[in-house]
Structure 1
């Protein structure tokens, strides 16, 4: 059995979105003074520790008996006695000492002995108020608490959008929507190739935002919400930006995952804040990308974040059902998993319209390729109609990736002109994988693969209903040792019995 890959239609499931995404806001610049502030706080704490250490008595402590013996021996030079009986003195060798006089004894004899030994005696009065000592002992704790408060505020400001953002716990529940003002969207329907039926259906939203009074005069209500459904990479986000560009209104873009946090109630607060921002400057468009992140069916699943997601969905349902249509707010949403959405979200009055954005047809693929090839140098052998035939099942994002791979192939050959071979190699790279020059077949293996692929090609040429052969190769690429590629002449939606029989014949012809 020879491992091979043949192509009649190609369906890719993952791709990037068509068109350029909204420009993200620039990240906040790191604060260079933060490190200096931390160093200053560390030095201050170190100084306090040193000061406390210096306040700790370093003198030796003598018992009263030792003190009396040293006085009798004449080794005490001077003493300082306070009103509480504490004695601090210096010996004749310079050593400092402290001791405590017993108040229950008669100290008259000690006084005479000190005078006889010519010890210098001085007295001092202590401060009876303990507040100074208490405040000084509490100073390190106050500084540490202030440091924790300062770090907490810095973290809150960073979490809510950088040093220049809105600080405090209140910012945690603020919406993270990216606001695009009316003069910023430059994408128009003309920039979206193909999808004429979709653009015609969604253009009524643009007309409603431009002139809502016309609908009110006729007693008609504009759509509250439009749900765009389609496979990944078909241009749902690009169409939403085109709606904003055509309507020339404020455009608030947010993804469904930005509503969900680990704290219950935060997502609902962000939904309220999002609609409040839209009400402040109508008319406006709210675009929620990947709405299935918060709009999934309620009561399904028992994970920890289920309550938070359901509260967020309930708040979204209340906002869409409650806002005034006269203010000119339309909600656009996009998803590629409509079966997971809650039925309450899809009922009329919330999402009134459901616009299906399928994979592009053959003519639409040719138009999309022409858009992505603008500004590039093409060789005279490039035929977009042939390339559109060779890419059934490709989304707009897949076609953009195909053009980019072809441009990379041209750069590898030190060329600036993209030729048909570059586009064909890029298509093989996306469908089959990278071609390994080291993956060489043995002579007998090459013969087996050649006979195998010749069977496919020969039967494809002989069968009257089979698609014509476009390319046969026995060069290994990816996991395929060879391939026979057929290009459909037209894009079929229904298949006749003769076509299916010839299809099976070609498939088993390699055996």
Structure 2
């Protein structure tokens, strides 16, 4: 206190939220300072010899920040001209410009709420003799880490208890609520999810590294600290973030661009973003999960009137990420359905180090979900997981809730038998459709296998089918791209080979088999220098603006790729049909099952001489079947 109030002293105080600055000011005015001392702020010119001048650092974002920094410097210079001591309040998330931070003293960090502080407070507020029953209070009082995560309302409500023991119990209850709300160790762990995809492996590595850092075994600078998860809606990106926090034993702090934007105007939105990052800093070690990152867009999008708004949002988001990474103990997890819409500056390493796609759950993961829905059944649930294969966790959860509601309306008990009955009726209508989808997907699997690719999984779903595969490294020769076109159209070729007809399963949206094969063909001609135009580059072509000659060439290229796929599959048509028949029943094959089916088929390797290119994960989907099935 003597240092703070010394004549001419300058103190910078940090380690608190912006919302707490007013309470610090009130505490200075109402009890912390000696009675004869006064506190003044900007605009309050009532000075006398024993006056503490308080200056709060509050800057906005975007274009207004420059003006705020100028006013801050001017106000600081005015305060320094007075002989009275100066207290500079620097909330978390705020920073001084370089020209001020170099001349001011290093910030003194405000100590977080602790057991010792609360014991002192309880002795002062809940005892006429300044003594409390420590044997009764100490066992009920949470530890320092838990207390530091409580907000002011929790503490103030607890202190309204009639005695010290009750106040400690209220604080313990507040800590429990905070953990449940934050999704801490009470949620599913990575061990519970038991995922095997690259996204799950990366999540497990992050959680393990965070635990090692907490034990002092590794330095924070030696580990990855951020992960971007992308994939279709409902695949469990939020659940995975919560599982990272649960496995690491730390709180999960959640935010989303949708929730921030719902606050209102630009200033409100940025304030909500800042508050989320500050919450993470105050709860560290923790996991900060930010959803719907694609909502911020890209600064390269200049086709609308929201460019200035979008630029300020992205700039502030980048600033907050950079400030966050200066802290230790915070893992940053982002989620998006559309990674291609995100500004490249957000995606770069150093902001999001790792990028992984969230796949559909395996049958083993679906079985875990069913075990949670029927915790006391004791029945084998593998047959149920088979019927739910190929669906997102959100859809599976909705199907279970729907079946539970139906059982309640019918006055029946909800058990695995009832759910199987409901699912069985729905699957009964799809037999012919599933037979065709299975043949289609097995065509992709066999052709990819023959070309030396790694096939991770193939499954059927209500929307169609999915084959997950990894192309081996290649030199980028025309033969390499021709092979990929062949694999893309192998599903269509398998249908023609088995049924004598083709369906719309290879068509559909921009990720369909036909679309991917067409993009490769057009890229060879217009961008890669491997097609009819030779050494020429014309940029990405617009399929809607192709000339009649270009459309004819594209059709011929795709027809040729399908013919090659059919010739590739013909010697193995019996394996194709048998494998598809079992897939229709099992709904999913993992890598080991695929290997058992195809281990005797000769593999071509799929490589040519030349420098290697990095292999890429590829998915063949048959979503158009969903449209044809009604």
Shorter-normalised TM range: 0.3 to 0.5
TM-score, length basis structure 2: 0.38
Q: Which is greater in Rg?
A: 1
TM-score, length basis structure 1: 0.46
Higher relative contact order (CA 8 A, sep 6+): 1
